[in-house]
Amino acid sequence: MSRFAEPQDELFRALNSSVSYDFRLAEYDLAQSRAHARMLGARGILAEHDVAVLLKGLDRVAEEVESARFEVHPHDEDVHMAIERRLTELAGPVGGRLHTARSRNDQVATDVAMFVRDSAEGAAALCTEAMAALLDLAERHLDWPLPGYTHLQRAQPVYLSHHLLAWLWKLRRDRERFRLCRTLSDELPLGAGALAGVNFDTDRATLAGELGFASVAPNSIDAVSNRDFVLDYLSAAATCATHLSQLGAEIVLWSSEEFGFCSVADAFASGSSIMPQKKNPDAAELLRAKAPRVVGHLSALHGVLHGLPLTYNKDLQEDKEHLFDAVDTLELSLSVAARMLEGITFDRARMAAAAADEMLAATDVADLLVTRDVPFRQAHGVVAGLVRHAVDSGRRLSELTEAELGELAPDLPPAALAGVLSEHGWLETKVSEGGTSLARVRTQIERARAELEPAAG
């Protein structure tokens, strides 16, 4: 019997059906169904012989799923109905007993929480791989100077190792966000029923243990309406994808003829169908372009969830495609980023030539005046005057005459200025904690290594 006198409209079926994409959750659905059946038996809610038949049937369904022999029927609304339908075909009417003390509402929340948990762990592990690639690059380019930029204008010189490690720390925070997401998806929804709990004395603690959850969701209403863990994953993924986008953008820029700082391995570049000389950094460009897609999934889910009354609403079905595509996009992007970084090469001479630009020492010249008791703001003005004079007359700072210096910067002894400009020691004077001097970079590398040790990773 059905509640409905009329068959389902075909167009509504197309709108309503989720099996084409949520079948991806089949392994989780089967795992929770096995645990649920065992628990029902242990509690005396189902007879042990029925449980044995159910478990055997579930094993056969699992075999079909694993070997891709499972046939989804057009009338299977979602993964849960498809599995129950097949179980009943294989095990007989006892298959209908599996849904005792369970609703698809707590079932789907459980599947998605398990999927998010695994995906968050996977993303954290991929962050670690990308971090390892960056650390390796940093160690191999410890003392290679290049200009650091603000506003994409040359600002102050830094070591390449220091610059590369900046990306590592961003990924470390991403990894923390995925770990937090994993922790926050660790409460078992199963057992909440449709929304109010169930009419049987179930054993949720055992279920939680078997399914790898740290605890049981304390409120059935919250449990079936909660999709925070999906938001958490998407939010962590959006930030991480944005970092990869920034990294990709920098590689595109640096590998251009204009910069010439780096070159990606041929395996991560492609040619042009018309211009034979081209080597395009497509992988980096696509890292740059994938981020908005992930961010879009995050804002889409905020859109789905906002304004929803408690508890389960069919709107919640719209969490999955956003989640799945974000997971696929992010995992591919992180894997490509790590591999591309492993094979990237840098042009030491090009970077050194750019870093030798004397103008990069302007702040250091101002600081020289500060050590001679000139207030920094005033020193800044004096050096700005020197820079302007040099630029206007088409010369470098070191080419200004003693007479000009005497007039424009009377507190600045020419010999001291020459020292700052010639010694190329602007990097080594950045001795503050977290700065670019080699001693500080070495300390940073030690910290980064500790982050990659198994206990931390």
> Does residue number 130 form part of the binding site for ligand ARG (CB under 6 A)?
no
d(CA 441, CA 266) in angstroms, rounded, equals 30
d(CA 239, CA 431) in angstroms, rounded, equals 31
Joined together, the tokens standing for residue 305 give 């969830």
> Does residue number 105 form part of the binding site for ligand ARG (CB under 6 A)?
yes
What's the min distance (Å) between Cβ of 65 and ligand ARG? 17
309: buried, middle or exposed (CB in 10 Å: 19+, 13-18, 0-12)?
A: exposed
User: In which region does residue 278 sit, left (phi positive, over 0), alpha (psi from -120 to 50) or beta (all else)?
Assistant: beta
Member of 32, 33, 317, 444 binding ligand ARG (CB under 6 A): 317
> Does residue number 333 form part of the binding site for ligand ARG (CB under 6 A)?
no
Query: Where are the strands (E) in 306-377, listed by range?
Result: 345-346
Member of 61, 316, 323, 427 binding ligand ARG (CB under 6 A): 316
Residue 375's alpha-carbon distances to 71, 362, 372, 379, in angstroms, are 78, 15, 9, 6
d(CA 333, CA 234) in angstroms, rounded, equals 14
> Does residue number 225 form part of the binding site for ligand ARG (CB under 6 A)?
no
Return the residue matching tokens 């990773």. 457
Q: From 297, 285, 279, 298, select the one nearest 245 (Cα to Cα).
A: 285
> Does residue number 229 form part of the binding site for ligand ARG (CB under 6 A)?
no
Angle at the Cα of 329 from the Cα atoms of 325 and 333, rounded to 5 degrees: 170
What's the min distance (Å) between Cβ of 61 and ligand ARG? 18
Site string for ligand ARG, 250-289 (x = CB under 6 A): ----------------------------------------
Instruction: Verify whether residue 119 is a known catalytic residue.
Output: no
> Does residue number 301 form part of the binding site for ligand ARG (CB under 6 A)?
no
- The region of 1-9, 101-109, 246-254, 447-455 touching ligand ARG under the rule CB under 6 A is 101-109
Member of 34, 102, 104, 288 binding ligand ARG (CB under 6 A): 104
> Does residue number 168 form part of the binding site for ligand ARG (CB under 6 A)?
no
Show contacts with ligand ARG in window 5-44 (CB under 6 A).
Answer: 18, 22
Instruction: Verify whether residue 380 is a known catalytic residue.
Output: no
- Residues at the interface with ligand ARG (CB under 6 A): 18, 22, 78, 104-105, 108, 312, 314, 316-317
Residues noted as catalytic: 151, 272
